[in-house]
């Protein structure tokens, strides 16, 4: 029996990867920085491990995982979060002495983790982007006088909408800029785009940047309401967004899975928001729709022949009920229709991030993990102090800090 080690068990993406490989006959081991993560409760997880934080203790993280793959014969190692994926990529040659990986070069990954560098690359190949200003090229006073308002100050490196500020005047931009730059480093400044929706392209490229699979979905609901992860999404076939994504990833020399997010402007045009150079949260939607990205990645990692995957079902709905759709319902102003929509459990075209009739225990894992996060100060602060004051897409409903 083949054996896989999947990292980042706290995430829905890792739960989806474990379920996918488990159904394919793998013995799946899962890990995270804490033992009682939601994925370890899955029936497809044969063993759970812990390791140091890739972000806070990167050297220890690498040492512990190298010892693990030395002592246990894994056919493939799969990370799903930014920090773990980046650290693994940086030490790929060491890991490949003992197991198989399918990750991009660390410099390519790092480029996509920098939103400024991503926008620069996209601009050179004609990918539509919001009008963007770079303070390293032009001074902030000049940008404040030139940019159209409202505008957004965006950290180059942050998750979700953390650190993003919407500003409505030159004075406000000049006032807000120093604090963002002090905390996050030199940001970018973008003109605010009034969005009408989201479209997201998910792509898998091989070592030669050939397309193995592509998939798209529409984000229908998000939480927090001011901008956050997909709570409800629907599979689509957005050929334009997928081609923009493929062109961008090819230009960078990408390999592996990646998610490319776009907002739709008032003219119906997609504008690049960001690239997530790793597995994405609702990867289960792609799997249920017919594109088994985790299995394809595992096959590529082991140098097994893989054919291009071209067809999948559209109109499949993904729901992250526990806990985010419930939290969204509490905050929503349309509680009755949102509640009716949420409890459509009889709809055969719906899949769930956590809920599963054949693998129900991660529901318990979600509750256990949530309690741990609330009791752990660092994890609690990371969740509860999330900055949701705006973003190129996320700030469509966000107020200015000026009252």
How far is the first Cα of the chain from the last one, in angstroms, to the nearest whole number?
A: 61
What pLDDT does residue 379 have?
63
Q: Summarize pLDDT for 230-277 with one digit per residue, the tens.
A: 999 999 999 999 999 999 999 999 999 999 999 999 999 999 999 999
Measured CA distances, 240 to 203, 233, 273 (Å)? 13, 18, 15
Q: Summarize pLDDT for 53-98 with one digit per residue, the tens.
A: 999 999 999 999 999 999 999 999 999 999 999 999 999 999 999 9
d(CA 81, CA 252): 20
Peptide bond into 86 cis (omega under 30): no
Among residues 98, 108, 176, which one has the least CA distance to residue 143? 176
What pLDDT does residue 99 have?
98
d(CA 80, CA 337): 34
103 touches 257 (CB < 8 A): no
What pLDDT does residue 399 have?
35
264 touches 196 (CB < 8 A): yes
Fold of the domain spanning 3-101: Rossmann fold (3.40.50)
What pLDDT does residue 380 have?
58
In our burial notation (b when 16+ CB lie closer than 10 A, e otherwise), range 142-155 reads ebbeebeebbbbbb
How far is Cα of residue 203 from the mean position of the Cα atoms in its chain? 13
Q: Please determine, looking at this structure, whether the domain spanning 197-360 carries the CATH number 3.30.470.20.
A: yes
What pLDDT does residue 381 have?
62
| DSSP secondary structure letter of residue 309 | B
How far is Cα of residue 5 from the mean position of the Cα atoms in its chain? 20
318 touches 44 (CB < 8 A): no
129 touches 271 (CB < 8 A): yes
Whether 3-101 shares its CATH topology with 127-192 is answered no
What pLDDT does residue 392 have?
37
Strand partners, 272: 262
Q: Which residues of the chain have pLDDT under 70?
A: 160, 226, 345-347, 378-403
What pLDDT does residue 346 have?
62
Q: Where are the domains of the chain?
A: 3-101, 127-192, 197-360
Among residues 46, 51, 103, 112, which one has the least CA distance to residue 77? 103
pTM: 0.91
237 touches 315 (CB < 8 A): no
d(CA 229, CA 219): 9
Among residues 56, 130, 63, 115, which one has the least CA distance to residue 94? 63
Q: Cα angle vertex 370, ends 367, 376, to 5°?
A: 140
d(CA 225, CA 350): 22
Fold of the domain spanning 127-192: Dna Ligase; domain 1 (3.30.1490)
Question: Mapping DSSP to helix (H, G, I), strand (E, B) and coil, where does residue 168 land?
Answer: coil
| Ramachandran area for residue 399 (φ above 0: left; ψ -120 to 50: alpha; else beta) | beta
329 touches 339 (CB < 8 A): yes
Gyration radius of the chain over CA positions: 21
């Amino acid at each position: 029996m083949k054996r896989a080690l999947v990292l980042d068990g706290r995430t829905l993406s890792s739960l989806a990867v474990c379920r996918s490989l488990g159904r394919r006959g793998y013995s799946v081991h899962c890990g995270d920085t804490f033992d009682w993560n939601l994925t370890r409760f899955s029936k497809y997880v044969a063993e759970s491990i812990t390791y140091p934080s890739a972000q806070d203790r990167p050297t220890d993280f690498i040492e512990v995982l190298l010892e693990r793959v030395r002592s246990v014969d894994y056919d493939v190692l799969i990370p799903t979060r930014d920090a773990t994926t980046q650290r693994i990529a940086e030490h790929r040659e060491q890991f490949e002495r003992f197991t198989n990986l399918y990750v991009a070069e660390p410099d390519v990954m790092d480029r996509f983790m920098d939103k400024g560098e991503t926008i620069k690359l996209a601009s050179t190949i004609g990918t539509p982007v919001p009008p963007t200003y770079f303070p390293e090229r032009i001074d902030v006073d000049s940008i404040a006088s030139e940019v159209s308002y409202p505008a957004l100050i965006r950290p180059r490196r942050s998750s979700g909408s953390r650190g993003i500020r919407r500003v409505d005047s030159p004075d406000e931009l000049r006032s807000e800029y120093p604090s963002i730059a002090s905390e996050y480093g030199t940001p970018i400044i973008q003109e605010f785009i009034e969005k009408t929706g989201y479209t997201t392209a998910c792509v898998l490229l091989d070592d030669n940047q050939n397309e193995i699979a592509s998939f798209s979905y529409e984000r229908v609901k998000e939480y927090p309401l001011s901008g956050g992860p997909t709570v409800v999404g629907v599979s689509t076939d957005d050929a334009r967004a997928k081609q923009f994504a493929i062109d961008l990833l090819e230009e960078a020399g990408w390999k592996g899975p990646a998610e490319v997010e776009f907002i739709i402007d008032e003219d119906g045009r997609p504008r690049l928001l960001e690239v997530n150079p790793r597995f994405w949260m609702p990867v289960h939607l792609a799997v249920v729709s017919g594109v088994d990205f985790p299995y394809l990645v595992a096959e590529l990692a082991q140098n097994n022949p893989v054919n291009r995957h071209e067809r999948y079902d559209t109109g499949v709905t993904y729901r992250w009920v526990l806990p985010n759709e419930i939290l969204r319902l509490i905050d929503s102003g349309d509680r009755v229709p949102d509640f009716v929509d949420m409890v459509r459990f009889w709809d055969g075209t719906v899949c769930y991030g956590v809920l599963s009739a054949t693998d129900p225990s991660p529901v318990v894992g979600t509750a256990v993990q949530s309690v741990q996060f609330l009791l752990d100060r660092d994890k609690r602060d990371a969740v509860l102090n999330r900055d949701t004051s705006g973003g190129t897409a996320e700030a469509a409903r966000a107020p200015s800090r000026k009252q």
